[in-house]
Amino acid sequence: MKKNVIIVGDKLAKRLSKKIDAEYLNVEYRKFFDGELKVRIPKIRKADYGILMIDLVQDQNINEYLLNFLFLSQKLRESCKKVIGIMTYLPYKRQDKEFLKGEVISSKVVAKFIEKNLDCFITLDSHEHRLMIEDIFSIKVFNESMFMDLGKEFMDFEKEKTLVIGPDSEAKAFVEKFCVFNKFDNIILPKKRDTKTGEVVINIKDKSIFVDKDVIIVDDVSASGGTILHLMDLLQSLKVKSVSVALSHGLFIGDVEKDLKKRKLKRIVTSNTIDNEFMKADCVEVLSERLKTLLKK
């Protein structure tokens, strides 16, 4: 065991500690009646490197997740010479533009709070449409991807009969990584979302390319399920052979999982960045490789 490296967090952190030969320290959580949060690292100690990664679970309040991370990063800063923070899902990254007058670009605000106690930050498949992750952080940052591993989960699909689709231009990079190993044909659809109502509209010109195809919808996250469910209904009307879904983050707020099951999908696959029943691709493998490189320096 490397005595100079500690890793603080929950289940994923414990597994990660074994991959990088670091000492694992658990976290105790408490929530008071007024909603305030308290976190504690019972066995905190001095170390050269402190790594922080707490789990995000389904239906957890995303602001609680963020605040717990910030509180814990301060404690690690007090105890460690270098602090590496890992958030498997980066909150608020989608608000990277003032869409309507008066809106706050919350991704920039949140980034400033996150980086305050860190020397390095790692996340996975963060939303990078208008602003790259390097544009909102001033420290060293890495945006790792789960899509190549997710693509491997469909290697049994027939290449000639499979079509991968991204719901919008923002999914282009995800689709490209997803198809690295399987070499599936792919297209990006022209999705538009009303900034006031949130309503999604997808217009497809050439509908013939979908007939009798095993279609795989690839995207970074599904929270409300609006885009994915709308697209599934549209595809069913185009006489596709089957529909599958591959997501990096299975956020699935409320009854989204139940709604997906009702659609009789051929396959639903996510990574384990957020705990859910469709997890296949393991983020611990990806993160451990990045950390091994960082800890060698």
Are 273 and 284 a contacting pair, CB within 8 Å? no
Structural domains of the chain sorted by starting position, each given as residue range(s) with its CATH number in brackets:
2-145+282-296 (3.40.50.2020), 147-272 (3.40.50.2020)
Note the pLDDT of residue 198.
61
Note the pLDDT of residue 196.
62
Nearest CA-CA partner of 42 in 24, 32, 27: 27
- d(C-alpha 255, C-alpha 30), whole Å: 27
pLDDT in tens, 219-263: 998 877 778 888 888 888 899 999 999 999 998 888 888 888 888
- Cα-based angle 38, 120, 62 (whole degrees, multiple of 5): 40
Low-confidence spans in the chain with pLDDT less than 50: 1
Q: What are phi and psi of 76, to 5 degrees?
A: -70, -35
Are 124 and 100 a contacting pair, CB within 8 Å? no
Note the pLDDT of residue 136.
94
- d(C-alpha 293, C-alpha 297), whole Å: 7
Where does residue 137 rank: exposed (0-12), middle (13-18), buried (19+ CB within 10 A)?
A: buried
- d(C-alpha 113, C-alpha 73), whole Å: 10
Note the pLDDT of residue 45.
96
- Write down the pTM of the prediction: 0.91
Average pLDDT of every residue of the chain: 91
